[in-house]
Amino acid sequence: MAILTLNEAKTWLRVDGEDENSIIEMLIGAAEEYLHNATEVEFDGTNQLAKLFCLVLCADWYENRDLIGQQPSDKVRFTCQSIMAQLQHAYKPEVGDSDE
């Protein structure tokens, strides 16, 4: 299930028109996959913290396309690390529930 819609991301990025839709859709997919790989949890659009994480990550990647492969800014890095820590620890699936 998707966390972000194209319209939510475009509003966050302040993008009008449809010229960059495919780029933004790719960023959304990558951010959602990144979050899933880091947490092993399936989030959807009802989790506001997961939504914010994906929006921040999409914005950083979109606004810094020429810097891909380099370190993100300290502000973005801190924001993403802080949100990720909460998402990793607050939403881990219960271990052993199926064995009982």
Of 19, 90, 22, 16, the residue nearest 53 (C-alpha): 90
Tell me the pTM. 0.75
Given a cut of 90, whether residue 83 has pLDDT beyond it is no
Task: Check if the beta carbon of residue 4 is closer than 8 Å to that of residue 31.
Answer: yes
Can you give the pLDDT at residue 72? 58
**Position 74 confidence tier, pLDDT thresholds 50, 70, 90:** low
Can you give the pLDDT at residue 99? 44
What is the per-residue pLDDT across 19-58, written as a single tens digit (0 to 9) for each? 999 999 999 999 999 899 888 899 999 999 999 999 999 9
Higher pLDDT, 44 or 86: 44
- For residue 17, what is the DSSP state? S
